[in-house]
Chains A and B, each alone.
Chain A
Amino acid sequence: MPRTLSPDSPVIRVDAVSFSYGETLVLERINLSIVAGEFVGLVGPNAGGKSTLLKLILGLLEPQAGQIHVLGRPPRTAARAIGYVPQFPSFARDFPICVEEVVTMGRIGRGSRWALGWSSRADRAAARQALAEVEAADLARRPIGQLSGGQLQRVLLARALVAEPQILILDEPTANIDQRAESDIFDLLAELNQRLTILLVSHDIAFISEYVSRVACLNRTLTCHNTSAVSDDTIQHLYGGHIRQVEHQHG
């Protein structure tokens, strides 16, 4: 059961967290506080530690220094209140399974962790509803291997939503899809943000600034900006010298 939190206390709190793989320091004294209802974009160069920070928040990794609290609890016990959409699907695309079954798997872990057996009718109904919410209801019977990149992202989003999470964490949800599908997904996320706190990793700082309420820039250390304040200096600090901004407008 989610412990009651005062409305201002952060749903995700990262305190002075450092993490290194072997001798490579990936994160250095990171502080980050996200309150309910925020839509935070986490940006930074490749190998800047974005995915590592997500894995720490999800409890898949343990920090060597510092502390993380999710909904006031240690990440491991709070993971089930988070919907997670990975950057690369961590499963084989030729696995013999249809979309609805994949989404239904998101319901595991609601209620008792020892609930054995098969998925219930309520679980399958919830899966269909989640698929409808991401506008992918027509894909329910499709084998997972026959989806396009954009369709797969929607299905993974449905799998995250079906557990009725309080927080949604997405790792580069639009890395492998075309731009129109990208704006569709972001419109959907903006809508979900009405009821969910969202933390989203992206390498595309320009694109996400339209949607998010705050940008956190991560390149081993972390700096936060309001979306309006993302300036040339910020980008310079983050990516180094050789970046040019291109002013572009979509018709």
Chain B
Amino acid sequence: MAEFFTALVTYGFLQSALLAGLLASVGCGVIGTFVVVKRIAFMAGGIAHSVLGGMGAALYFGFDPFVGALLSAIVAALLIGAVRLSWKTQEDTLIGALWAIGMAIGVLFIAKTPGYTSDLMSVLFGNILLVPTHELWWMAGLDVVLIVAVALGYRQFLAVTFDEEFARLRGVPVALFYLLLLCLVAVTVVLLIQVVGLILVIALLTLPAAIAGQYVHSLAAMMVVATGLGALFTTLGLALSFGPDLPAGPTMILLAGGVYLVSAVVSRQLQRRRAWRQATTQS
């Protein structure tokens, strides 16, 4: 650990990695909260995996894979949203299919791109140590987009996530805000892919918010706590992986998963104890 902090001062790539983790945690706190309370983790997984299609195409045609990822994430979000809004039946089947089709397209493109097969691992599992500086700017820009969008539409997003039927009766354009929310999920997925890769994204998107949800009772508090937890997991994961030269992404995910399990047990015990105390003081 101490080794990590001395290295952090010396090496620019570590500073970039740390910054990338912190920038990603904003997305995982703010949008991860919506994903958890709206229970759309499966859709978010579909969006994340179909991103490979866009990244593969970008590598093949030689444009920035970050842009490819962003475009394909938005397209996947709109497709999945349209499926959910208009084909209520077999929604899970169709999302599962989009999930796999996106990946298949990506793998074909990458297979036909000379010299890129080795990079497939870092796309799938992330390589936070290789995040270039211009992508940090992209990430910061996307964070601003997320925060501004959620701040401007907070009431509408809250209404649509809480109770779609009631939101519709109050005249909120539900379909529009639903698709917008999925697009924000897409943006967040792209942010997090830089850090943990597209396979592991779903854990970093949901676990911090799920842990926060065990202790706080408002959406805004959940966002703040989840952002803090996201920052903690990415930073600590990076530090822990540095000494023994482990891949950073999986280390972060195991850390988040471990904390989630412990927290689930602890919060349950706390709840039981409160119930017990309530019952015994009443009688």
B219's closest neighbor in chain A, by CB? A96
Contacts of A91 in B (CB 8 A): 162-163, 166
Contact A79 B171 (CB under 8 A): yes
**Cα distance A40–B225 in the bound complex, in angstroms:** 48
A110's closest neighbor in chain B, by CB? B170
Contacts of B172 in A (CB 8 A): 108-109, 113
**Which one, B11-19, B23-31, B147-155, B231-239, is touching chain A?**
B147-155
Contacts of B163 in A (CB 8 A): 89-91, 105
Contacts of B151 in A (CB 8 A): 117
Q: Which of the residues A90, A106, A108, A117 comes within 8 Å of B165, measured between beta carbons?
A: A90
Write the A114-132 contact mask toward B (1 if CB under 8 angstroms, else 0). Answer: 0011110000000000000
Tell me the dominant secondary structure on chain B's binding face. Answer: helix
**Which one, B109-117, B198-206, B210-218, is touching chain A?**
B210-218
Minimum Cβ distance to chain B for residue A139 (Å): 13
- Decide if B158 is an interface residue (CB 8 Å cutoff): yes
- Decide if A92 is an interface residue (CB 8 Å cutoff): yes
Contact B169 A116 (CB under 8 A): no
**B residues 26-46 in Cβ contact with A at 8 Å:** 37, 39
Interface size class of A (residues with CB under 8 A): 20 to 34
**Cα distance A82–B164 in the bound complex, in angstroms:** 16
Additional 11 contacts, C-beta under 8 A, given A97-B162, A113-B172: A60-B169, A91-B162, A92-B37, A96-B217, A98-B217, A98-B218, A105-B162, A108-B156, A117-B152, A119-B155, A143-B217
Minimum Cβ distance to chain A for residue B202 (Å): 20
Contact B165 A105 (CB under 8 A): no
**Cα distance A45–B122 in the bound complex, in angstroms:** 61
Contacts of A86 in B (CB 8 A): 165-166
Q: A95-B37, A96-B222, A118-B154 are in contact. Are A105 and B217 (CB under 8 A)?
A: no
Contact A82 B169 (CB under 8 A): yes
Minimum Cβ distance to chain A for residue B272 (Å): 15
Contact B155 A108 (CB under 8 A): yes
Contact A101 B218 (CB under 8 A): yes
Contacts of A59 in B (CB 8 A): 169
| Most chain A Cβ neighbours within 10 Å, of B163, B164, B166, B219 | B166
Contacts of A84 in B (CB 8 A): 166, 169
B209's closest neighbor in chain A, by CB? A96
Contacts of B164 in A (CB 8 A): 90
**Cα distance A90–B162 in the bound complex, in angstroms:** 8
Contacts of B37 in A (CB 8 A): 92, 95-96
